[in-house]
Amino acid sequence: MTRWSVTMGEGRSPSDAGQEIAGHPAHGSGHSPLHDRVVSIVEAVLLAIVALLAAWSGYASAQWSNESQLLLAQADTARAVASRALLAADAIRDLDSSTFDAWFTAFVAGDLADMDLAERRFRPGFKVAFDAWLATDPAQNPDAVPGPTYMPEYRLRGVARGRTLDAKAEARYAKAVTAGGNADDYVRITLFFATVLFLVGVSGHFPVRAARYALIAVAVAIILFSVVQLVGAPRPPG
Q: What confidence tens digit (pLDDT) does each residue in 118-147 have?
A: 898 999 989 999 999 999 998 888 888 989
Instruction: Give percent helix, percent strand, percent coil of the chain, each to the nearest 5.
Output: 80, 0, 20
Q: What is the DSSP letter of 150?
A: G
When pLDDT is cut at 50, 70 and 90, the band that residue 42 belongs to is confident
| Type of residue found at 100 | F
- Reference 72, options 60, 64, 83; nearest CA is 64
pLDDT at 18: 40
Q: Which residue has the higher pLDDT, 161 or 209?
A: 161
Find the range with the poorest average confidence among 47-51, 157-161, 176-180. 157-161
Burial class (CB in 10 A: 0-12, 13-18, 19+), 9: exposed
pLDDT score, position 31:
52
Average pLDDT, the chain: 84
C-beta atoms surrounding 174 within 10 Å: 12
pLDDT > 60? residue 28:
no
**Model pTM?**
0.65
Dihedral sign of CA atoms 173, 66, 179, 234 in order = positive
- 219-to-47, 76, 203 alpha-carbon distances in Å: 10, 43, 10
Question: How many C-beta neighbours within 10 Å does residue 130 have?
Answer: 23
